[in-house]
Structure 1
Amino acid sequence: MKNKGEILVIDDTVASLRLISRMLEEAGDSVSLAESGEQALSMVAGKPPELILLDVLMPGMSGFEVCERLKADPKTGGIPVVFLTASDDPRDSIAGLRLGAVDYISKPYSREGLLAKVGTHIELFRLREKLKQQALELSAERDRFSTLFQNSNDAVFLHGMEPGGVPGKFIEVNDIACARLGYSREELLALAPADIDAPDMDERRRAVVETLMSSGRAVFEMYHSTKDGRSVLSEVSSRVFDYGGKAHILSIARDITERKAAEKERERLLTAVEQGGEAIVITDTDAVIQYVNPSFERITGYSHLETVGKKPNLLKSGVQDEAFYRDLWGRISSGKTWAGRMVNKRKDGTHYTEESTISPVRDPQGNIINYVAVKRDITEQLKLETRLRQSQRMETVGLLAGGVAHDFNNILSAIMCNAGFLARDLAPDDPKQKDVKEILAASERAASLTRQLLAFSRRQIMATRVTDINGLMIGMVRMLGRVIGELVMLAVKLSPAPCTANVDPGQIEQVIMNLALNARDALAGGGVITLETELVNPAEEFFAAHPDLPKGPLVSIKVGDTGCGMSEEVKTHLFEPFFTTKEQGKG
């Protein structure tokens, strides 16, 4: 049979014990027997039963005394006690009930009556124990909820919903909510969500309520107003739940005012990085690129996707040796900043010079976690600096040449005047006339040289006029043919478009002549000199680098030859007036 309960029967009469025990065991109960109060108390202390059947009249310790002692002990006070008595005195029943007994069974008793009362009291005991356990669990759950509620780092609000979907007054709030908004708990419990939302949040609140009622949850941002009028931006997570048959809302609000400010600051920084003119590269400690900005893409030609995940050595030009890079990485890996110049290679293979500052980035513990490089392309700047130095050198040479030409012109004037006087005084057939003519011719050549020096020094006023460069070139062909000799061929390629420019024709002729003569000298064994004109439309970058030129079509004059060409070193001296690669005495 199924066991129905744990029962302790206390009676000083062995026959009564055996009778009751048999009836209960046949009903499936587990029965323990005690013949005295002392024995019963000892047994209950070891293993409390679910029900005690206690005889009132016993020698020694009476049933009333046993019951009194059981009820006085918190460990056994909850065990139901049913008295067994042969007395029909109602005073005994009242006394037992006052001591805490739950029932009285008079002897003699029927089997059915006994079992019915025993089953009822055991069931009631179990229900009480279950309720007691549930109360303990509920209390523990309430304590856990209260602990979580009050110890949350975020503000927590609990409120109901009024008819029509209007959020009601707060039912519960935690200390953080009170501290953040500046209200006492009593003050805040007298308010509703609409009372703490900023004035311009009405539409948002209505939208949030609609979302909550339709989906049961919502995450949103809301500006709250503090008691003193300050505005606090909160990220709120709300959820609807049923309590007592009514909809309630639990909301957890996190103050994100500082986070939003940091995000805006980060956005401003990112915008500055993204739109800055300098290239910015961020790598990890293994030199793997994690980020490049658009300026890096513009300068190098490599896209973000082509660069991230690779190492900066994809830009190596070969100009710097390995020792250069060892020194660089040794410095930054030791926590120092490296600054300097290097020549790198673009995606298209061209070289460019950059000024770089590379610094380590540390975490709060001081460990290096990244490297950040700020790079500026100074290729055009270096070209401008080179042109400036060249211009300064030319200016110095020009000043010197102008001064020499000015003084030399004074000397030539005296020579030519006196030679003229001498030629006038000599007879036409005088043999010395020939010598005078040589003096005058040499003086003219010297005067021509001084005019060139003055033009170079910008002291000679150039006689500019609109000139047909193609016609000028054709007019020089015969003279150039005689000058360059028989071993050198002259080829002319003229633009089919009109090539007119406002220039000093004499100066242009002199430039072409000098270039042709230099080309001839480079073709000792013969070759071809090519004269070419072309009408060109340079890009904006060209005019930006030459601000003195008016924008528009330009005439290009090219003088080429089939000689050995010029080295890079010679090219750097191309426009220096007195630089030459010829042997001494040959110009």
Structure 2
Amino acid sequence: MTKQVLVVEGQVVTDDSLHTLFSRHPQEIDDIETISATSLAEATTILETASVDCILSRQNLPKETGVDLLETVRQENPDVPFFLFVEGDLGTIAGDAIAADVTDYFPLAEIYSKSTIARIGDEITAHRGDESVVELLDSAPHAILVYDQARTAITAVNTTACEYWGYTKTEFQQHSLESLTAETQPPSETPVNTLLEEAHNESSQGVDWRCKTKDGTQFWTELNIQPIQFKGKRHLVLHARDTTAEKERQERLESFRKAVEHAGHSIYITDTDAEITYVNESFEDVTGYTRSEAVGKTPRLLKSGEHGYAYYQQLWRTILDGDTWQNEIINQRKDGTRYVVNQTIAPITDEHGTISRFVAVNVEVTERKRKENQLKQLYQAATEWIEADTRVEACSHVSDNLTQLLDFDLHGVYLYDEGSNALESVTVSDRSKDAISTHPTFGPGDGIAWAVYESGVPQQYDDVRTAEAVYNPETVIRSEIILPLGDHGIILIGSKTPGAFDDDDELLAKVVSSILTAVLDRIGREQQLEEQNSRLEEFASVVSHDLRNPLNVANGHLELAQETGDLDHLDEIALSHQRMEEIIEDLLWLAQEGREIQNTRPIALESVAENAWSYVETADASLEIACEQTIEADPDRLQQLFENLFRNAIEHGGDDVTVTVGLLDDGTGFYVEDTGNGIPPDERTDVFDSGYTTLAESTGYGLSIVETIVDGHGWCIDLTASEEGGARFEIEIE
């Protein structure tokens, strides 16, 4: 193959011409073709289009020097052999020539020396050999970089390296290894610079090298460094294989491995024979089996016996067809306890699409299923509550269900008692009886219980002892849920363990309290309706019975007046009408007795009694008052109370009876007594019944009205005998 040599000299051919160099010694190197140039510019033009194997140049050129040409050539052709021939002292140009990377330089006088020709021939042969090596390197599938340790420079690269980094071969020689390296490297790997420093006599094994391209894109390579000797110089060959795709795949696999290993759900992998090949930490936590105990076994070690052959047959048919299986399954732990999981089993295929293994993800739903079952059972149990006839019966049903269905062992239901103005225990669980010897009654301002009742806002405490308004700071109860029951009372649910209740427990407790409140409302409405019906029946009875007598009397006198013309009968008719009016007024008031006494204010007891006396037909009766005291009462209703007691005393004690109003000795209330015949002990419990009377002219509702007014104020009334033997009514207001 012809070797082209560029000869640069600025004169015509003479006996010492470089053009005649090879013709003098053809046996040293054959098949040489020379190209001539007479200046640096002409030589540069030739090099842009021609590929030469060597350059011979005189130092003295017409306008430039051979060193100038050398420096220019090296910018684009760093590897081509360049020989410089110097006229005169070599020392004058030696430093510049070497600095410009001259291959060698000779005195012009030795131009035809056999050794000079041999030296040039060796370099031409070596360069032609280098080109073959470059072609060989370019065919390599991975990047190859040749690094000159002495110059700390990249001297050669292959085409694949150019593809990796995006630089041309010429641009590579202008870059350092540091500029090819990404700023961030794996912390576990030795820096590339350190590897280069250490790679004197032995190769380095593959290390991860993160690189960056010309446009700044980062990629991964596996780097191997091999030290070599080339042309008498030490070089390093860097072999870099692009591992970016592998790295990304490894990172994805590592991320997946970490995600699976630390997943909150139980995961295991089996081969196609159902043999377990992998389990994660959650599998060990959930099942109780260690990894070594599970791997090599089949999922049958979790079998609970709850599912039949058809269940598993359908499972295997689904996943072997390449589909994903999803269903709930009841498994059994190593300790024998059962648990429920939502299981998803998916097939994993290889690169050929063949199923190679299965992955099972098990989301435990045991607690959720337990809550669902609780709600279902609670719904069924609520039907018993709804059918309860009394408040106590409803609360007892709730107490039973709180223990049996919701696992709340310590609880109690407290209902408001109007008489004591307090929350009193109606029912408590058996364990509450054991834990707390005496169950308190909560009055106004007593602890959290009363605050919840009064505000209607439920409260939950992880440690009730830390609550500011705790009723008993030394209580054995630590966790507590307190729920209002409307105007009826509260439910207390407790535990001896701090933080025992979660949001689901609170929700279930609220469901219970909501249903019980509705039931108590219903029972209250039914009782109120029964009372109203009773009053209506009573009203109808009185209308049909008590009004019939004066009505018959009126009709009889009316007939006599019509027959005889005697107008005196009209007086009797008027009395009968007056009698019926009194009965009607009493009945109308009693029909509204369910209304509460609300318009109370401080009033003088003495003035109300005097005013009431003035509205009663007293005949020759007399009133003695010794009750100078102010009380909180509804003045209209209190006056009505006195009127009925005064009227009762006159009706039963005679026209000249003496009625006394005074204060009880203990200061808790007042009394009204008379000097009449009194009421026998065996009749004293009956006199307050509506319609009860021993006198034909009496409606029998006066004392019933008195008792209603007393109850409406929250007072108490007691019937005894006075010192003179008459009736004595004692009203206790405190």
TM band (smaller chain): 0.3 to 0.5
* Structure of greater relative contact order (alpha carbons < 8 Å, 6+ residues apart): 1
TM-score under structure 1 length normalisation:
0.46
